[in-house]
Amino acid sequence: MDFRIVWAKTALADLRDLVRYIAADDRDAAKRFGDRIIAKVEGLAPFPRIGRIVPEYRDELIREVIITPYRVIYEVNDDAAILSVLRVWHGARGEPNLKQ
C-alpha cells in the first residue's frame, strides 16, 4: 500500500520560492526542476523509508532525498500511512529548520 503524501505549508512555500527564483532566469528550467522534485516525492509513496535519515536529527522517521542542491525532508507516519513533506531545503543553508 502506498503512503499518502501531504505537503506542509512550509514545504509548499519552499518549492514555490525556488521555482520562482529559477524562473527569473529560465521559466522552462524552473518548471522542469519543480516537476522533478514533485516526481521524486511521488516516487517515495511505495517506499517511504528509501530516503536516508536526516543526520542533524537522527530520527528514524525524519528522512530526506537529495535533488542537488536541495534536500527534500519528510516525515514517515507508519500508523497512518502518511509521508509528510516538511521542507525543500537548499543544501547551502546549513541545518534545516523543521519548525512549522
Q: Structural domain boundaries of the chain?
A: 4-91
Per-residue pLDDT of 79-100, as tens digits, reads 999 999 999 999 999 888 887 5
**pLDDT band at residue 5 under the 50/70/90 scheme:** very high
Rg (CA), the chain: 13
Q: 95, exposed or middle or buried, with CB in 10 Å at 0-12, 13-18, 19+? A: exposed
> Residue 58 carries which side chain, given as an amino acid letter?
R
**pLDDT band at residue 32 under the 50/70/90 scheme:** very high
Provide the CATH topology of domain 4-91.
Answer: YaeB-like fold (3.30.2310)
Per-residue pLDDT of 55-82, as tens digits, reads 999 999 999 999 999 999 999 999 999 9
The answer to whether residues 72 and 64 touch, using CB atoms and an 8 Å cutoff, is yes
Q: Residue 98: its pLDDT value, please?
A: 87
